[in-house]
Amino acid sequence: MNKTNFGIFSTLLLLLVFCTSCKEQRSNNKLLINEVLLENEANMQDDYGQNSAWIEIFNKSFGSADLSAHLIKVSSQPGDTTTYFIPKGDVLTSIKPRQHALFWADGEPKRGTFHTSFTFNPESNNWIGLFDSGNKLLDEVVIPSGILKADQSYARISDADDQWEVKDGGENKYVTPNTNNLTMDSNAKMENFAVKDGSGVGMAISAMCVVFAGLLLLFIVFKIIGRISVALSKRNAMRAKGITDLKEAKEKKLGEAPGEIFAAISMAMHEMQNDVHDMEDTVLTISRVKRTYSPWSSKIYTLRETPKK
């Protein structure tokens, strides 16, 4: 009995540790530092109309992630680290799936939740770290000094990508605060298709092949269903007649209905759906008649009785 209890306790403990580790791993992998701009001269303005440096954080998961109680730490010199605690209670700190959050590095935390207590030094290396509420590192990046000019950002090539690059406004290298890092101006597949099939003949042939393939598949499916239904009908008829010999059942055509029956059923369904029938003496047609007279509108019910004296 003691061994059984010990085994159950050990199993529950292992499951608890496994679930906790899985939960931490999912939480840690949700939030990433996605893009950073150190010098803002003519880029996006904050809610106070100021051009400030900013940090973009991306939620790469397909579920919401809350940034409240998280920490953003920066350092431009060894041993000189500034920490910004993201306050609780702001509903905007909850980032929707595959969306972004922008923090202004202006050193003015009194301006709101998304205004940090630190600024950047563009002339030196800048280390940025994102920590969860348990002070565990989620993501970090080092921006080397001298690689960014004014209004240029250091960002992942695309959202949540492992590689970083300088966004200088060149081809497919736009500074994209609060939106996707990779902006596509064209669709390479569509352009390639237009070059190879400008007249649309290939598209038409492909579409017709898909349609005919679908019709063929439907024919095969209905053919199989029809055979199965006929086989079941024969089996039920043989059971009802008490016949076990397949040859005898085939001679008596058990389970087989003549074409007239299917025609009659089809005609009845057609008449039922279209509300039509042949004009015959044995058919009683009842039509709705609208009359203006009703006992409720009769004048005799509107007359008032003579008051009693």
Give the pLDDT band of residue 16 (cuts 50, 70, 90).
Answer: low
| pLDDT of 208 over the 70 cut | yes
| Amino acid sitting at position 178 | N
Most confident segment among 3-7, 14-18, 210-214: 210-214
Q: Which domains does the chain have, with CATH numbers?
A: 2-185 (2.60.40.1260), 201-277 (no CATH)
- Through-space distance between the first and last CA atoms of the chain, rounded to whole angstroms: 101
Q: What is the mean pLDDT of the chain?
A: 83
Among 62-66, 261-265, 277-281, 282-286, where is mean pLDDT lowest?
277-281
CA angle 76, 78, 79 (to 5 degrees): 110
- Is pTM beyond 0.85 here? no
Cα separation, 35 vs 58, whole angstroms: 9
Among 121-125, 174-178, 261-265, where is mean pLDDT lowest?
261-265
| Amino acid sitting at position 246 | L
| pLDDT of 92 over the 60 cut | yes
Give the pLDDT band of residue 24 (cuts 50, 70, 90).
Answer: very low
In contact, 255 and 230? CB cutoff 8 Å: yes
Instruction: Taking the CA atoms of 91, 93, 97 and 100 in sequence, report the sign of the dihedral they define.
Output: positive
| pLDDT of 1 over the 50 cut | no
Give the pLDDT band of residue 83 (cuts 50, 70, 90).
Answer: very high
Residues 101-156 pLDDT 10s: 999 999 999 999 999 999 999 999 999 999 999 999 999 999 999 999 999 999 99
pLDDT given for residue 248 in this prediction = 78
Share of the chain above pLDDT 90, in %: 50
pLDDT given for residue 281 in this prediction = 57
User: From start to end of the chain, where are the E strands?
Assistant: 31-37, 53-59, 65-66, 71-77, 80-85, 94-95, 100-105, 126-131, 137-143, 153-156, 164-167
Among 111-115, 141-145, 190-194, 213-217, where is mean pLDDT lowest?
190-194
Among 47-56, 86-95, 272-281, where is mean pLDDT lowest?
272-281
Q: Is 256 helix (H, G, I), strand (E, B) or coil?
A: coil
pLDDT given for residue 26 in this prediction = 39
At a CB cut-off of 8 Å and minimum separation 6, what does 55 contact?
33, 35, 36, 72, 102, 103, 105, 116, 128
Distances (CA, A) of 22 to 18, 250, 264: 6, 64, 65
